[in-house]
Amino acid sequence: MPRHLSTLLAATGAAVLAAGLLAGPAGAINTYNGSPAPERTETGALLVLWDTNGDGLDDSFDWHCSGAMIDRDTFLTASHCIVGWSTNPSLDHFYVSLDQDVQGELDAAAALGLSGTAEAQYFVQHGEAVEGTGVADRGYRQAQSDPHDIAVVDFAGRSRTPANVWSFTPARLPAAGQLSALTSAQLNAAPWLTVGYGTEEAQTGGGKPSHPGGGTLLKATLGFNALTPTWIKLSMIESQGYGGACYGDSGGPNFVTLNGVMLLAGDTVTGDNPCYATTVVYRADTDSARSFLASYVQLP
């Protein structure tokens, strides 16, 4: 199961095919119209320690998705980033890093000959990641109407949380139905921003397209496209001055600024296969999303 491409295949296949979008995870921020995002201190990378071959031993530790802290001990991400790893889910361990260059840290650990559990322990001991409990929405399924593609990494009750390691201001969630209360013109006029650690848009060199890079925190502005009862569809067309999400940005935050307040409107779920046209976001202001989040954060 390759990194980045494993996450969404079992997650939103039906929804993605129905929408004519990619049947793989959303990921990185495009290199075009994208830029570093050191000021987005609440945004982090999701790293997973898991058993790749079913022998009962965790042997892989790597970053796979993005997300954001929504209070001092809760990290918001996507359900498809949490489920479907080891054949025995008890072997799955989830870590969050708010470092700006997670791939650089992984490369440094690999240079020391570390991998799997030893690499995860190295990250924790050196203050580069914190382990939490990954919890996907119980209603998560492949449904266009509402896939419940929202999850958290919960640090409540842990002796160490991201707040013990990094300084950040938690992202602010929208009020119930806040996006639905706005007109398309208002949503179109609002500034939209996506942030994550994903790979680059498709690159071709005569062979099969590849998605290089990833593992560093980037941001890009997007344009509003459409609002459905579950989704926000955002434009990432280069010629319009926009960028957007790609492989590895799944679970990452999409912000909208309304009346001068930046809100985390939803988490990245999918987009088009080459990462050129559309970023699709699971709304955080719906009754469904709020019902799940209410067990972990105080909602506005």
CATH number of residue 115's parent domain:
2.40.10.10
For residue 207, the model assigns a pLDDT of 60
Note whether residue 35 is domain-resident: no
Greater confidence (208 vs 155) lies with: 155
Q: Are residues 18 and 148 in the same domain?
A: yes
Domain count, the chain: 2
Question: Could you tell me the end-to-end alpha-carbon distance of the chain, in angstroms, rounded to an integer?
Answer: 38
Note whether residue 29 is domain-resident: no
Note whether residue 103 is domain-resident: yes
Q: Are residues 123 and 193 in the same domain?
A: no
**Cβ neighbours for 167, distance < 8 A, ≥ 6 positions apart:** 41
Note whether residue 86 is domain-resident: yes
Which class for 277: exposed (0-12), middle (13-18), buried (19 or more C-beta within 10 A)? middle
Greater confidence (195 vs 4) lies with: 195
Mean pLDDT, residues 257-269: 97
Q: Are residues 195 and 165 in the same domain?
A: no
Q: Are residues 92 and 132 in the same domain?
A: yes
For residue 37, the model assigns a pLDDT of 93
The pLDDT mean for the chain works out to 87
Note whether residue 300 is domain-resident: no
Contact 203, 210 (CB under 8 A): yes
> pLDDT band at residue 215, thresholds of 50, 70 and 90?
confident
Q: Are residues 102 and 18 in the same domain?
A: yes
Lowest mean pLDDT among 4-13, 30-39, 105-114: 4-13
Q: Are residues 220 and 108 in the same domain?
A: no
Q: How long is the chain?
A: 300
> Residue 136: which of 233, 72, 67 has the closest Cα?
67
Q: Are residues 76 and 194 in the same domain?
A: no
Note whether residue 31 is domain-resident: no
Q: Where are the alpha helices (DSSP H) in the chain?
A: 13-19, 102-111, 116-125, 184-189, 287-293
Model pLDDT for residues 138-189, shown as the tens digit of each residue: 999 867 678 999 999 999 999 999 999 999 999 999 999 999 999 999 999 9
Domain assignment of residue 83, given as a range: 13-22+41-170+289-293
Note whether residue 1 is domain-resident: no
Q: Are residues 63 and 137 in the same domain?
A: yes
Note whether residue 209 is domain-resident: yes
C-alpha 135/C-alpha 82 separation (Å) is: 7
Q: Are residues 199 and 162 in the same domain?
A: no
Q: Are residues 190 and 60 in the same domain?
A: no
Q: Is this prediction's pTM over 0.85?
A: yes
Q: Are residues 262 and 158 in the same domain?
A: no
Q: Are residues 133 and 17 in the same domain?
A: yes
**Cβ neighbours for 246, distance < 8 A, ≥ 6 positions apart:** 26, 27, 28, 29, 30, 198, 199, 200, 201, 211, 271, 275
